[in-house]
Amino acid sequence: MLEVYCRQALKLAEVSLLSEDEGFAARIPGFRGLLATGSTKREALAELKTALTDWIDLALKRGVGLPPVSGRSTGGLVTAR
């Protein structure tokens, strides 16, 4: 279930050019504090995928739930134990 959630969340990713020398930044709207950078768009997205997994683990450990993706809320479906 979390794999599907991650795939849906990554579809919402936004990538921005920082500057020619600094590369790209990737983020997912609604995922507060989640940001990844890379020298290319592909690298920034790969870093975002890794960071998303860690972000989800931390959110669940803190019991804050997860932001909705694909128009459905997962707050009631995924909780920390």
Enumerate the domain spans of the chain. Answer: 2-62
Bridge pairing between strands 23-27 and 14-19 = antiparallel
pLDDT band, very low/low/confident/very high, at 63 (cuts 50, 70, 90): very high
- What pLDDT does residue 19 have? 87
Alpha-helix residue ranges (DSSP H) falling in 1-81: 2-11, 41-62
CATH of domain 2-62: 3.30.160.250
- 15-48 confidence digits (pLDDT tens): 999 988 899 999 999 999 999 999 999 999 999 9
Q: Alpha-carbon distance 59 to 45, whole Å?
A: 20
Helix (H) or strand (E) run with residue 37 in it? strand 35-38
pLDDT band, very low/low/confident/very high, at 59 (cuts 50, 70, 90): very high
pTM over 0.85: no
